[in-house]
């Protein structure tokens, strides 16, 4: 076990204000692998003060120079790719291959995209007799989750830095080690002292202190809708800008003319990836009643391929939460066709890849975010029925539509109340805006839309 010391504040590793530590547990074997300091109000205050002091200099730095620092940061992440993957596997439990391609690969791509955007974005424009300047919002407080621990830090930090903002990050307590790695990469990239600051700590202590700090201009939070409501209330009460990336219960709609086998196989893979710990996962598969039985058989066969390949859930509490939802699904009359609440391993926070059939839209497992490897397969009568079911939750983060005709899929997707839809297995695009309708959040991340979250406008009239 390694005892990590210090917070990254004002360009240096500084001792924490208090003596408390957070134990980091490997969810695959339940062993403590490290400790990090549990930050206090004093640590958060020091970090915000450093960010405020650094703001004028960084905001005045030419965009081309900010772009160069981001490019250097991307190169630093590339050099650390294996270390990043191994660290995420150790603290999150994700299989190493997934850690390399997604947990390390996606943040590298996103950092690179913002290096390019910082260099090319029009930070001023003429409209009529005015010049409109797009200026940094100021100090950003970023509270990030454990499920994609580096990606979520980068998706907030990279656009904020590109915009000329300074940042204080409070990472999730389950996965703070990759955040410390990122801070080292920031330091080596030559990003000036105070522009990026890292405080590890518990949500109700350090996270709350960051949310309530009067020196923070924009609060960006990714996590549950319940916590997002509290963060939003704090920010609104203090008239801060807020960006919230919250929960999801996304629909995977398979229209009758689609390639059923491909749609089901990709759909199951989407839900099982990262052990189901993905806010945008397509956890509701909607199939026409004439193809329903075949789709369920295909889903069961697809789920069986995962078995030991999906890794554990992040902690014991998360495992119990997912087991509770599986038990509730059975109690409410859904038919368990794969997996179940029992763990496939003696040690580690594992849950078997689980598929439910005969799920109806009002069931708990069809309405609430489970955040585990659990798929609900629902039947629909016609396209209007499918649309009603797809839109029939409080969430609207992502989704998928499969059809024999692409235009038919697009027409359906346009009617879905959700922020992002994959058409016939469309690939992830780091430049496309990501974010939700309804209770899935406020604002967008990634690409130019993600950059504008960290900018405010000033118009000069002539």
What angle is formed at CA 161 by the lines to CA 159 and CA 139, rounded to 5 degrees?
Answer: 105
Question: Is residue 218 left, alpha or beta, with left meaning phi > 0 and alpha meaning psi from -120 to 50?
Answer: beta
How does strand 374-380 pair with strand 399-402? unpaired
Tokens at residue 435, please? 């974010």
CA of residue 30 relative to chain centroid, distance: 24
Least Cα distance to 92 among 290, 313, 250 occurs for 313
**Could you write out the three-class secondary structure of 10-65?**
CCEEECCCCCCEEEEEECCCCEEEEEEECCCHHHHHHHHHHHHHHHHHHHCCCHHH
CA 457 centroid distance within chain? 27
CA neighbours closer than 13 Å in the CB half-sphere of residue 382: 1
> What would the two tokens of residue 354 be?
């689980």
Q: How far apart are CA 188 and CA 190, in angstroms?
A: 5
Angle 418-123-140 from CA coordinates, rounded to 5°:
60
CB 95 within 8 A of CB 309: yes
**Burial of 397 from C-beta contacts in 10 A (0-12 / 13-18 / 19+):** buried
Catalytic residue (choose from 91, 173, 212, 245) = 245
Distance CA(431)–CA(397), nearest Å, equals 17
Q: Is 245 labeled as catalytic in the residue annotation?
A: yes
* DSSP conformational letter for 29: T
Q: Which residue has the tokens 């003596």?
A: 19
> Hey, what are 323's tokens?
């087991």
Q: What whole-number distance in Å separates Cα of residue 8 and Cα of residue 29?
A: 29
Q: Give dist(CA 18, CA 16) in Å, integer.
A: 6
> Of residues 91, 212, 279, 369, which has the active-site annotation?
279
**CA 170 to CA 43: how far, in whole Å?**
11
* Exposure of 334 in the CB half-sphere (CA atoms within 13 A): 29
- Catalytic sites, residue numbers: 245, 279
């Amino acid at each position: 076990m390694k005892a990590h010391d210090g917070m990254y504040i004002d360009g240096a590793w500084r001792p924490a204000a208090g003596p408390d530590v957070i134990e980091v547990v490997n969810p695959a074997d339940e062993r403590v692998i490290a400790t990090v300091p549990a930050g206090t109000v004093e640590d958060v205050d020091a970090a915000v003060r450093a960010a405020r002091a650094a703001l004028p200099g960084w905001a005045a730095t030419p965009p081309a120079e900010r772009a160069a620092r981001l490019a250097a940061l991307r190169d630093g992440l590339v050099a650390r790719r294996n270390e990043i993957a191994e660290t995420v596997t150790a603290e999150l439990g994700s299989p190493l291959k997934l850690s390399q391609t997604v947990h390390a690969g996606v943040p590298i791509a996103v950092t690179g995209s913002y290096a390019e955007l910082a260099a090319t974005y029009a930070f001023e424009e003429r409209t009529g007799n005015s010049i409109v300047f797009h200026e940094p919002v100021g100090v950003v407080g970023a509270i990030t989750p454990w499920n994609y621990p580096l990606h979520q830090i980068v998706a907030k930090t990279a656009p904020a830095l590109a915009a000329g903002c300074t940042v204080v990050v409070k990472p999730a307590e389950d996965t703070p080690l990759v955040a410390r790695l990122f801070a080292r990469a920031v330091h080596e990239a030559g990003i000036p002292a105070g522009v990026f600051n890292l405080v590890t700590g518990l949500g109700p202590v350090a996270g709350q202190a960051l949310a309530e700090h009067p020196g923070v201009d924009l609060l960006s939070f990714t996590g549950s809708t319940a916590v997002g409501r509290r963060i939003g209330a704090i920010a609104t009460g203090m008239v801060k800008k807020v960006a919230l990336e919250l929960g999801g219960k996304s629909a995977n709609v398979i229209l009758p003319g689609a390639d059923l086998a491909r749609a089901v196989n990709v759909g199951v893979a989407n839900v099982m990836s990262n052990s189901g710990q993905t806010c945008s996962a397509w956890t509701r598969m909607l199939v026409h009643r004439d193809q329903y039985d075949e789709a369920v058989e295909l889903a069961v066969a697809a789920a069986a391929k995962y078995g030991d390949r999906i890794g554990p859930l992040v902690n014991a509490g998360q495992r119990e939460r997912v087991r509770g939802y599986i038990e509730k699904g059975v109690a409410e009359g859904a038919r368990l066709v794969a997996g179940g609440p029992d763990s496939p391993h003696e040690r580690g926070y594992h849950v078997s890849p689980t598929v439910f059939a005969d799920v109806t839209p009002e069931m708990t497992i069809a309405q609430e975010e489970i955040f585990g490897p659990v798929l609900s397969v629902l039947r629909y009568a016609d396209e209007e029925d499918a649309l009603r079911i797809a839109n029939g939750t409080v969430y609207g983060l992502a989704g998928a539509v499969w059809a024999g005709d692409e235009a038919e899929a697009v027409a359906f997707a346009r009617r879905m109340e959700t922020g992002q839809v994959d058409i016939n297995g469309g690939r992830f695009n780091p430049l496309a805006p990501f974010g939700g309708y309804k209770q899935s959040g406020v604002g967008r991340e990634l690409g130019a839309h993600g950059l504008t979250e960290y900018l405010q406008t000033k118009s000069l009239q002539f």
